[in-house]
Structure 1
């Protein structure tokens, strides 16, 4: 291994050595603790330290790094107190996740490090969002994100690189090609000779770098950073290296040919660099021994602090209170000036006024810029706010949702428009595993609203007509809003945008241009988690939301003798159980009306809650009315049969006659 010091001073060269040595000595200590049963799991980065250290040394402390679970050198180079890392690995409170996640599955705004989730790919999209925020601020900051050669097969890798290329984002995409994805060798993972060649397909600059040579890593990245600051653009970097331990310690390395282990053993990044420094007279044997002792002492002292820390004592409130970030709702009342507008106009008005109110708000989605979106909701927004804030995206829902998270991390608010709610399935993972869990895991908000044009009645078929709220109402950490009227849509969307938690905002397409209402012209808010009692009566409680609210109103208009409490939930998570239970206790009979299919829909949970909390007040079984348990069809006759609209009246009357 040949080292070229170029214009680096002795002090810089020694500093890189110290930064290499610390994670190596910590790792060696961890291997001992693993054998003693004092650490439950360990993902070793031995043999790969030069990449993490080199990247971190090049970036300023204010620049975000998104490491993987073998990048201990990122954390130590950012000088995180070791006792906090040890507490994290032992699941103690001084760690970064309060015992809720392990290893390096955490982030810390204090040190501008954003850790991975086990699904790997989403953090590439997060880096895009962080870099977009930097670019919008023109602060010349660079973002670095790590991935392994195995994760380059994920769709998120393609999506994130494509977005970064199209938007010219200053992101270093770092591939640590260490030969194996757990036990699967690279020749069973991809066919191209070098992963750097993939950069050609995205139209971005790419390089192959010796990942075991700290000086090559440092000098090349320093050069690239300067170029990226001058001319923002992404780069794809393939670091050739090797993992000298198992995927994690329990896996072992028996699947690796012994000869290959010997070859890479001679390329050890720490040992080779030490010999270079000794040969050049920059490092002495005595000073090297002193460094070893100092670091080992620091490790032992910090381990003692972590070991002395008590185990976490779980409490229900402690866990549940951290699922969502605290949000203090501020009621903003409207003026008396109103205009009679459609549901779709109310959504557009909310977005426009929110963009004016929040200068850090960015809207992303397919065809939302000059075209104005599939439903023309953002028509004219580019002229008002510019393409920097009203951004057309490639067709890549997963990376766009992750980019929304990156924007949130870096001080922005994000709205992601799904062209149709059905398409959220390709962005499902980052919503339920990234946005939903981030605050619970490490206290980080996910200030992202995902808009969901949904619902049937327009003969759009199985891929454009679902109302799939139940996919998300059962996911802790998400809020789900589903208005039925223009007034509610505007006020609730304003609040959803203000809320720093992730919100799924459902907008029924059939209501867009069919429902009119007098809506305040100015900005106002409505609270999440508060249902609306549209009609009052003593004979039955009707609980519904979305388009079925209007179908229920039509049914009651046809049957004026029915005295019903009609509850429009408006918000599904949080759910207004207080209003539900009070009504059921008054009427003694309840019917839940949803457009979603029956099995597994939110009506089932509401029914169970009523049975648990109001059983002694019931005069009849709780009834549910929902769509057929089939995909939603296209032809009108089939769709009419699928939807519950034609079955509700009959079931309602049967309940009243019970």
Structure 2
């Protein structure tokens, strides 16, 4: 292994050695603790320390790093206290996640480190968002994100590289190519000779380096970071290395040919660099022994201290509260004149006012810039707010939702528009595993609104008409709103954007241009989680939301003899249990109406809650009227038969006659 010190003085070279040695000695201690049964799991980075340490030292302390689970050297080089790291690994209350997540699945704003989730690829999109925030703010910063050779096969890798390339984001995508996934060798994972060549397809620079050479890693990353701070653009760096332990200790290494261990043992990053310093006369046995002795004492002290830290106390109320970033909504009441406008225009007006109020709000979506979006909701926004804040995106829902979270982490607000709610399936993981769980895991907000043009009635068929709110209502950490009127559409959208928690905002496409209503011209917000009682009656309670509200109103207008309490939920998470319970007590009969399919639709949750909490007030079983348990057909005759509206009369009569 050839080392080139360039202009580094002796002190700098010794400091690199200490930074390299420290995580190695921690790793060796962890293996002892495993054999003693004092810890249960460990993902070893032995043999890969030069990458984590060298690249971290190349970054400025104010710049974000997004490491993986084999990058202990990132945390130690950023001087994260070992006691707190050990408390994290042991699931202690004083760990970064308070015992809620393990190993390196956490972030820390104090050290500008954003941890991974187990899905491996999503953190790369977060790096895009973090870098975008720096560019928008005028900060000459670079962002470093790690991935493994196995994760380069994931769609998240390709989406994130493409977005970074198209937007000229200063992101260093660092691949640790250690030869194996868990046990799958590289020849079974991809056909390209070098992973750095994948950069060619995205029109960016790709570099391959020796990941076990601490000086080559540091110098290369330092040079790249300096360049992209001045001239923002992404760079892909492939670091060749080898994993000397199993994927995690329990998996072992029997699947790896013995000669590979012999070959890579000669390239051990710590031993090779140590010998280099001996050869230069910079390191002596006395200096090495003193250093190792001091580090050993520190490790023993910090680890034993962490073992003595308290275990978490299980409190269901605290757990539930911590799913969300603390936020007390301050309602802004509507003032001034109102105008009769369309549902679509109310959304446009709300977005425009939010863009004016929050200069750090960024809109992202397919075709939303000059074109104005598929439904023209953002028409004219580019001229008013600039293309830097109204951003056309490539067709890559996962990367854009992830970029929204990255923007939030780095001080911005994000609104992501799904062209159709159906397409959110391509960004599902980012929503349910990243947006929803970030605050619960390590206390960071996810200030992202995802707009969802949803619903049927336009003959658009199975992939442009789904009502998929139930995909998200069961996911703690998300807030979900679903306005049925222009007034609510504007007020709830502004409330959603104000809220620092992730909000899924459903807007029904059928209502865009078919429904008008009086909407105050000024800025106002409505309470998330509060239902509207549209009618009061005695015969039964009809609970619904979205287009179902208008089906119910039309039906009741045709049947003036019915005395019905009609509730528009407006919000599905949280939802207004108090208003629902009051209606149940008043009428004794309940019908839940929604456009989604019957099986496992959100109405099932409402029905179950009423049965459990209001049973003594019921005069009949809680009934549901929902759409068929099929995909949504395109033909109008078939679509009409599919929709719950076609069974509303039958359902009401059945409930009345019970």
Superposition TM-score tier, normalisation by shorter sequence: over 0.9
What do the CA deviations read for 1:113-169 (whole angstroms, capped 9, x no partner)?
A: 000000011100000000000111121111000000000000000000000000000
Q: Does 1:58 align with 2:58?
A: yes
1:304 Cα offset (Å): 2.0
Match of residue 236 from structure 2: 236
Superposed CA offset, 1:589-631 (max 9, x none): 0000000000000100100001001111111111100000000
SS of the aligned residue for 2:305 comes to: helix
Q: Which residue does the alignment assign to 1:174?
A: 174
What SS is found at the alignment partner of 1:278? helix
SS of 1:351's equivalent in the other structure is helix
Contact persistence 2:336–2:522 (CA under 8 A): no
Q: Match of 1:181, SS?
A: coil
Question: What is the alpha-carbon distance in structure 2 between the residues aligned to residue 570 and residue 307 of structure 1?
Answer: 48
The residue number in structure 2 matching 1:305 is 305
Residue 343 of structure 1 corresponds to: 343
Alignment of 1:5-44 (within 5 A): 5-44=5-44
Query: Counterparts of 1:207-606 in structure 2 under 5 Å?
Result: 207-606=207-606
| Runs of 4+ residues over 2 Å off in structure 1 | none
Once residues 49 and 294 of structure 1 are traced to their aligned partners in structure 2, the CA distance between those partners, rounded to angstroms, is: 20
Q: Deviations over 1:293-321 (max 9, x none)?
A: 11111111111211111222211122111
Q: Distance in 2 between matches of 1:106 and 1:294?
A: 28
SS at match of 1:114: coil
For structure 2, which runs of at least 5 residues remain unmatched after alignment?
none
In 2, distance between residues paired with 1:225 and 1:11? 23
Structure 1 CA distance for aligned equivalents of residues 651 and 311 of structure 2: 55
Distance 1:297 1:95 in 2: 21
Deviation at 1:230, TM superposition (A): 1.5
Distance in 2, matches of 1:266 and 1:31, equals 21
Question: Aligned equivalents of 2:2 and 2:112: distance in 1?
Answer: 33
Q: Distance in 2 between matches of 1:130 and 1:361?
A: 14
- 1:336 deviates by 2.6
Report the count of equivalent residues: 658
Contact 2:420–2:453 (8 Å) recurs in 1: yes
Alpha-carbon distance between aligned partners in 2 of 1:586 and 1:230, rounded to the nearest angstrom = 67
CA–CA separation in structure 2 for the residues paired with 1:140 and 1:310: 42
Partner residue, 1:143: 143
Gaps in structure 1 of 5+ consecutive residues: none
Give the distance between the partners of 1:71 and 1:654, measured in 2 at CA.
Answer: 62
Q: Distance in 1 between matches of 2:260 and 2:65?
A: 31
How far apart, in 1, do the equivalents of 2:70 and 2:272 lie?
20
Task: After TM superposition, give the deviation of residue 292 of structure 1 in Å.
Answer: 0.3
User: What is the TM-score with the length of structure 2 in the denominator?
Assistant: 1.00
State the partner residue of 2:74.
Answer: 74
Q: Secondary structure at the match of 2:80?
A: coil
Question: Mean alpha-carbon deviation: is it higher for 391-400 or for 215-224?
Answer: 215-224
SS at match of 2:626: strand
**Hey, what does 1:639 align to over in structure 2?**
639
**Cα shift at 1:416:** 0.4
**1:433 match: secondary structure:** helix
In the superposition, the TM-score normalised over structure 1's length comes to 1.00
SS in 2 for 1:415: strand
Post-superposition offset of 1:102: 0.4
User: Cα deviations across residues 334-358 of structure 1 (Å, max 9, x unaligned)?
Assistant: 2131111000000000000000000
Q: 2 CA distance for matches of 1:649 and 1:133?
A: 52
In structure 2, the residue matched to 1:610 is 610
Structure 2 distance, partners of 1:397, 1:334, is: 34
Q: Secondary structure at the match of 2:436?
A: helix
CA RMSD of aligned residues (A): 0.6
Measure, in 1, the Cα distance between the counterparts of 2:229 and 2:644. Answer: 57
How much does 1:17 deviate? 0.7
Q: C-alpha separation between the residues in 2 aligned to 1:581 and 1:414?
A: 35
Q: Aligned partners of 2:469 and 2:311: how far apart in 1?
A: 38
